[in-house]
Structure 1
Amino acid sequence: MGKDTPCMGTAKQRISKLVRRAQLRHVDHVITAGQRTSDYARKLGFSSDQITEGVYAWDEQLFRDVAAGRGTDASVYNPKNTPPGPNSFLFVGRYVPEKGMADLLDAYARYRRTVADPWPLTCCGTGPLAGQLRQAERVQDRGFQAPDAIPAIMRQSEGFIFPSTYEPWGVAFAEAMGAGLPAISTDACGAARDLILHNQNGQIIPPSNPDALLQGMLWLHHHPDRASLGREASHQAQRFTTAKWAERWHKVFTDLLENRSPVSKQ
């Protein structure tokens, strides 16, 4: 079974263990999105040896070149040593309330009033809150962008902002960190616990807290060594590449087939 629902401790999740007991007995193994989903799987009765983390992956071939160009991916040699573009914050996702858009615009407006040389904020996505983005000062709405266009935009960015109030995991988040972007994310994002080492490659902040988001922006803006943050971001994302994803699923299937008892003929 593949699963991305994080453990939230709700009554619905507690009841689910009872309602789905008969179905869950037929599940031999669970591949979860990450730590928070694994916590939920254990509450459903699965043991640790029945759980493997990594149901999602990011395309390292598409995004690793960005890290190499920024000089943040030590595993890839880039002879051109292409410098990064202008400093900018980046958000990629749907323009909907659960993505924390109101908090993002609030914090960004205050950030601009706080520093003498504020970075612009680039947003890629679509949704009902697009009009609010277009009205905000120095916020660039790039609209929907195809996956192969995102790396070039990340090359022009210095940090990734993920202010969601609910996010099972966050593939765009993993792509950004794989591309060498430090990230400011709420702990409502499932991938935050898997990818961010607090103050080493980004920051984890509470959801629905524009003050904390502002402080995260200021921390990244004034950080003396953003290149080291980017290197650590890229390093932490390697566990969720497509190559690792394929190895993970292959191992799970192979182990299950080897360990399953033959069905006796009736």
Structure 2
Amino acid sequence: MTSSPSPVPSKGVSANGDPLRVVFCWSEINGYMAACFRELAGRADVDPFFIALASGRSSGTEAAFADDVVAGLPCRLLEPEQLDDEALVRELVAERRPDVVVLNGWRYRAYRRLPYGEPLRTEEHGGPPGFMMTFDTPWQGTLRQRIARFRLTDYLNRCAITVVTGERSWQYGVRLGIPQARLRRGMYGVDHAGLSECLQRREESEWPRRFLFAGRYADVKGLDVLAEAYARYRDGVARDGAGEPWALECCGTGPRGDLIAGREGIEDRGFVQPADMRDRFAAAGALVLPSRFDPWPLVLVESAAAGLPILCTEACGSSVELLRPHYNGLAVPPDDAPALARGLRFLHDRHAELPEYGRRSNGLAAAYSTSIWADRYTAYLREAHAGSPPRR
């Protein structure tokens, strides 16, 4: 699938005065990255092209995004077997004669092999491109991660710039041996301007008395803990005569939907397309994310941009950047249903304060807007273009 954005005037940043030609080798393009990529494609000084896995084909994905998620993007979507074809991927990248190639981590061998072998661009067209790599994996100190430093050294050294999500993945980058001078933060962004409308809609009437969970219905997301905590919360509210318990709306799909099926007060909406999630954000009073492991959950960032107070576990990597306890929400330990239940009650009892919590969330999320993301990436791409390590 290939589509092109509207033409834009060129002011040129590459060596020959043309816009910087960039190929992004990505995994799957979801709603938030499509918004970021669309913003970048509209810039005059960058000419991007996106190669990615077709929606719903990645491991662990239970539902596909609608085709219009990538509408207007200059892209080529691949089936899994095509993404395993190193020659095909190399040809797709080389035919764009890129100034910079952006590699999404090290999971896909076809992407990982691009910095090796014959140059992707001839001297006639400016010489080999620079490489920029991104990843969102947090440091956990596992044996596998410790070994990765030695396994990935050569690959990492071929990338002029490495962009991570936030503090936890930055710590992993340092432990991988990436010099701090080549590490950058800010891998992801969200449509802050569009999501801010949810806050405006919510403030036009009484703040909703509803909790929202959005994510995969999988053990790693802690749905069993959420179900137990929510039941404890309902019992506590009834016992204390603290008004009506709030409903819990769940948006997602996956193998563990049985954990919330038929539970009193829980509404299961199933998988919701990105375009429809704004209505769910606007109808909610707070986000609840009980994950056991979540490298840098974007739903937390989107919810903050939508002006929602946040209740999540310390396992949620993006909470480091987007959550301030007793300022715009609360963080609790993972796998602790009583603590999560107390967090639900904390929000319930502070209903009058939640609009201010929501405005604070919205402010914290402004740093991850698509416009700031595009500014950030343009600067990083220029660095990668100018400072690519020599090829061996």
TM-score by length of 1: 0.90
State the AA in 2 paired with 1:8. Answer: Q
Q: Helix, strand or coil for the counterpart of 1:154?
A: helix
Q: Which range moved further: 202-211 or 47-56?
A: 47-56
1:96-245 aligned at under 5 Å gives the runs 96-115=218-237, 116=242, 117-223=244-350, 224-245=352-373
| 1:87 corresponding residue in structure 2 | 209
Question: 1:143 offset after TM fit, Å?
Answer: 0.8
State the AA in 2 paired with 1:257. Answer: H
Gap regions ≥5 residues in structure 1: 72-81
| 2:150 corresponding residue in structure 1 | 18
Q: Helix, strand or coil for the counterpart of 2:318?
A: helix
1:253 to 367, 374, 381: 381
Q: Helix, strand or coil for the counterpart of 1:70?
A: helix
Q: Deviations over 1:27-62 (max 9, x none)?
A: 221110111001100111123332211111112243
Q: Does the 8 Å CA contact 2:207/2:355 hold for their aligned counterparts?
A: no
Which structure has more RCO (C-alpha within 8 Å, separation ≥ 6)? 1
User: Is the aligned partner of 1:34 residue 2:156?
Assistant: no
State the AA in 1 paired with 2:369. Answer: T
For residues 51 and 206 of structure 1, what CA distance do their matches in structure 2 show?
A: 29
Distance 1:84 1:128, change over 3 A: farther
Q: Which range moved further: 94-103 or 144-153?
A: 144-153
Q: Does the 8 Å CA contact 1:69/1:84 hold for their aligned counterparts?
A: no
| 1:54 corresponding residue in structure 2 | 186
Q: Helix, strand or coil for the counterpart of 2:235?
A: helix
Q: Does the 8 Å CA contact 1:66/1:155 hold for their aligned counterparts?
A: yes
State the AA in 2 paired with 1:91. Answer: F
Q: Deviations over 1:224-265 (max 9, x none)?
A: 41111111111111111111111111000113334458x79x
For residues 369 and 324 of structure 2, what CA distance do their matches in structure 1 show?
A: 18
Question: 1:15 offset after TM fit, Å?
Answer: 0.8
For residues 223 and 387 of structure 2, what CA distance do their matches in structure 1 show?
A: 48
For residues 98 and 84 of structure 1, what CA distance do their matches in structure 2 show?
A: 34
Question: 1:68 offset after TM fit, Å?
Answer: 2.1
For residues 199 and 164 of structure 1, what CA distance do their matches in structure 2 show?
A: 20
Gap regions ≥5 residues in structure 2: 1-132
For residues 335 and 353 of structure 2, what CA distance do their matches in structure 1 show?
A: 28
For residues 192 and 138 of structure 2, what CA distance do their matches in structure 1 show?
A: 25
| 2:134 corresponding residue in structure 1 | 2
RMSD: 1.7
Matched residue count: 253
Q: Helix, strand or coil for the counterpart of 1:134?
A: coil
TM-score by length of 2: 0.62
For residues 152 and 178 of structure 2, what CA distance do their matches in structure 1 show?
A: 13
| 2:75 corresponding residue in structure 1 | none
Q: Helix, strand or coil for the counterpart of 2:224?
A: helix
User: Is the aligned partner of 1:68 residue 2:226?
Assistant: no
- Higher helix fraction: Structure 1 or Structure 2? 1
Q: Helix, strand or coil for the counterpart of 1:64?
A: helix
State the AA in 2 paired with 1:66. Answer: C
Distance 1:46 1:18, change over 3 A: same
For residues 317 and 279 of structure 2, what CA distance do their matches in structure 1 show?
A: 26
Question: 1:103 offset after TM fit, Å?
Answer: 0.4
- Higher strand fraction: Structure 1 or Structure 2? 2
For residues 88 and 127 of structure 1, what CA distance do their matches in structure 2 show?
A: 22
Q: Deviations over 1:3-30 (max 9, x none)?
A: 1100111111111101222222212211
